[in-house]
Structure 1
Amino acid sequence: MSIEKSMPGRGNGPKVLLLYASFGDGHLQAARALQEAFGHRGVGGMILIDLLAEAHPWMSAVTKQLYTKSFTLLPELYGFVYDATRPMRHDSLFAQWLHSFGRAKLRSLLQTHRPDAVFHTFPLLAMPEVRKQLGLQVPTYTVVTDFDLHGRWVHPDIDRYYVPTEDMRAELISRRIPYPRICVSGIPLRRGFGSVTVSPPLRAKYGIPSGSQAVLVMAGAQGQMSDAAGLCGALLAEPGPHVAVVCGRNAKLAESLRESFAGHPAAGRLRVFGYVEHIHELMALAACMVTKPGGLTLAEGLASGLPLFTPSPVPGQELRNARYLARGGAAVMTHGTEELAAEILKLLGDPTRLKNMQQALARLGRRYAADTIALDFLSSLNIMEEARSIVVPGPPHADDAAYEGRF
């Protein structure tokens, strides 16, 4: 489903459209984290919409396939296009074309749902132009879900930006977005990351004994990491480390790993999982994590205090994400299975380096990002309502009169 409605909250509260796109899982997960945080504060009118899928279902399906294939078939081309368009301005022809998708559908959604605010967790920014055309005063927010700022995210008519780092705030300011309109919140995560109590029952649930150093290998939401078997073999060849591999929805990879290591002398130190709903629990048991450097997964690792390894990141936002965290001391970029295994074993055997990386993780991680955004949003609504009551007495913009005749 590309439209999800929240359950009623504890109060009436504002009605919010959360616009995402399902290119990877991160944009949707960020939207759901916001839905959860808002719901805890009585905001029950939350509607999650995959705008591209709703507006152009055929195009959405094709572009998602191309996006996925580009990581394996044409990664250099994808990286070239990403880097070439990264500095683009909102008023360039290419940006205007990209942001034109979904405008007609968004008009219909605004008419149907009459929201008090619109949030984006994906840079398909149809809202600024639609809002301008209709003369609406609906505040519009953008939540950046990567550690790198592509020009697609930047538009002067976004009322509020929520970004993961101080460095990104500085970059937005350099692109002429005013300082007061930027909040350094972090990337929104579901509740639980960084706050799990490690207990014997939890260890038994995942088969990771007390006193062990567990390496968590994330094969990606669709099991996209290559040579997971080679990495497991290299790590298990050394005494000590346990290995937990999350294969996502790739059942073939999970079965292959189980068969390959069925008779291995260290098979007792290997745990293979499919899709893990409560991944924050498994992260709490690990000593470090190997992952593709998608923004949301990296944010989960930061919040969980997990030193990160990013093997052979593909060009584009993932490579830039990995480089940013590596510069900050929270991640290690590697190339090839042998180098990756050696770097992991080196870290696990060096308490000083492990402590330094954990300190870097603490500096960069923001585990309460979703709550920060929810509180900031509700505060901004209160300020706007107070301003309206002084300058323009009368009902708020969501009254029927504000929408009728404009569609």
Structure 2
Amino acid sequence: MKWSKGTAERVRVLVLSGNLGDGHRQAAKALAEASRLGTREAVDTEVVDFMQRVYPQLQHVVKYGFLKMVEKTPSIYGYLYHRTKYDEGLSPLFSLFLRLGRRALMRLAAEYRPDAIICTFPLAAAAVSLLKEEGRLHVPLITVITDHTDHALWLNPATDLYLVGSEQVASALRARGIASSRVAVSGIPVAPRFHAEEDRTVVRQQLGLQPDMPVVLVMGGGGGLLSEGIRSLLRSEAVCAGMQLVIVCGSNRAVMRELEEELAHRPSGRVRLLGFAEDIHRWMSAADLLLTKPGGLTTSEAVAKALPMLLYKPIPGQEEDNAAVLMRAGVAVQAEGGRALTDQLLELVHDPARLAHMRGRAEAFRIARPAERAWEALQPRPQPELSMSKAR
């Protein structure tokens, strides 16, 4: 990428994230952390929540509506997702929504005066692209796709470069007519700490876990995971007696309270409940298996840690796409709806050969240092026609 200021001065990069799911924020934080590593061109990064700054009055309504639709009517969400996956151009309603935030986004750009804008949130990428198309903004736009899929919502005419998680996504973008010069396979950005090698026995001792008993980490994204399936694990004597469960509830205090009440009736010293965990990379290092929904960031962190996954109830749409990619890669299996989750979990945990095979597949599938590779993809390239200021 050819920065507008050249290499003699520091470059200002605005990273726009969003609050519809924790993955967009985590990817933005990973990019910001990676920008401070190494001796590459000096970069000052600022991470901003697009929804909070551009739609302060609407953000809570939009987030509530999105989460409720996913929770209560996932089939409708899935229908809308697939219906719009290959849409060309903006719908009138979506275009109106973006235009409502135009002035606030221009104020944000004027405040930070960025030399480039990176978006880990599709609505932010669409809004920046619209301003560029209208001639109101003249900086490179880089879109980081945080799922293993190519939904049209991520794709916008004024995007200069797409950073994608796999060659499969890159091929899908090229099939849509996007030039190879505008696509780079960097991996989905995860914090550099997820690539650190850690001794499992030592980490388990430091976290207060028994070193010689299997550890299953349960995650459901930033909002936490609670369902009859998870309750069934807590009610299973075979599960609670035969392994250590670490359940991450995220920032959802209601989930934490409900699980605490569940455990009050079935006390077990082998079940740990966590809220939002900054050291989740250490819990992944300690675990034998991750039970999770297939969000792009959580699963990418697990792949970086070569942690086998059991995928549970993917949301129709991008989570189903993610699950398909991960299963084809051999790094995950998906829980079958017709079988008890406890049976499938016990089957995997007590099959060390299969878990070892999945770890090996994860090591082959993962892309080393994805957040740092993202910055490397943005460095000046020798061919002038690939300059970000000229790419279209």
TM-score, length basis structure 2: 0.87
Larger relative contact order (CA 8 Å, sep ≥ 6): 2
SS of residue in 2 equivalent to 1:290: strand
Query: In structure 2, how many angstroms separate the alpha carbons of the residues matched to 1:175 and 1:230?
Result: 44
Deviation at 1:269, TM superposition (A): 2.2
Q: Which amino acid aligns with 1:287?
A: D
| Alignment match, 1:310 | 311
Structure 2 gap ranges (5+): 1-7
**Percent identity of the aligned residues?**
33
Q: Is the 8 A contact 1:26 1:296 kept in 2?
A: yes
| Alignment match, 2:370 | 369
Which runs of structure 2 are paired with 1:188-267 in the superposition (5 Å)?
Answer: 188-198=189-199, 202-227=203-228, 228-234=230-236, 236-237=238-239, 240-261=242-263, 264=266, 267=268
| Alignment match, 1:110 | 109
Instruction: Say yes or no: does 1:340 pair with 2:341.
Output: yes
Deviation at 1:242, TM superposition (A): 1.6
Which runs of structure 2 are paired with 1:6-405 in the superposition (5 Å)?
Answer: 13-40=10-37, 41=40, 43-90=42-89, 93=92, 96-97=95-96, 99-124=98-123, 125-134=126-135, 137-198=138-199, 202-227=203-228, 228-234=230-236, 236-237=238-239, 240-261=242-263, 264=266, 267-336=268-337, 339-380=340-381
The structure with the largest alpha-carbon Rg is 1
Query: In structure 1, how many angstroms separate the alpha carbons of the residues matched to 2:224 and 2:246?
Result: 14
Specify whether residues 336 and 262 from structure 1 end up closer, same or farther in structure 2 by C-alpha distance, changes over 3 A only.
farther
Deviation at 1:55, TM superposition (A): 2.0
Q: Which amino acid aligns with 2:285?
A: A
| Alignment match, 1:4 | none
1:170-213 CA distances to partner (integer Å, 9 max, x unpaired)?
00001111112111111111121131422666323322222222
Query: In structure 2, how many angstroms separate the alpha carbons of the residues matched to 1:324 and 1:200?
Result: 31
SS of residue in 2 equivalent to 1:134: coil
Deviation at 1:324, TM superposition (A): 2.2
SS of residue in 1 equivalent to 2:217: strand
Query: In structure 1, how many angstroms separate the alpha carbons of the residues matched to 2:113 and 2:55?
Result: 22
Deviation at 1:367, TM superposition (A): 4.5
Structure 1 gap ranges (5+): 1-10, 389-395, 397-407
1:153-184 CA distances to partner (integer Å, 9 max, x unpaired)?
11232111100011000000011111121111
SS of residue in 2 equivalent to 1:268: coil
Specify whether residues 111 and 272 from structure 1 end up closer, same or farther in structure 2 by C-alpha distance, changes over 3 A only.
closer
Query: In structure 1, how many angstroms separate the alpha carbons of the residues matched to 2:293 and 2:308?
Result: 13
| Alignment match, 2:5 | none
Query: In structure 2, how many angstroms separate the alpha carbons of the residues matched to 1:264 and 1:64?
Result: 35
Query: In structure 1, how many angstroms separate the alpha carbons of the residues matched to 2:147 and 2:12?
Result: 26
TM-score, length basis structure 1: 0.84
Q: Is the 8 A contact 2:118 2:142 kept in 1?
A: yes
Q: Is the 8 A contact 1:306 1:361 kept in 2?
A: yes
Query: In structure 2, how many angstroms separate the alpha carbons of the residues matched to 1:248 and 1:387?
Result: 41
Q: Which amino acid aligns with 2:295?
A: G
Query: In structure 1, how many angstroms separate the alpha carbons of the residues matched to 2:245 and 2:270?
Result: 6
Q: Is the 8 A contact 2:225 2:255 kept in 1?
A: no
Q: Is the 8 A contact 2:239 2:342 kept in 1?
A: no
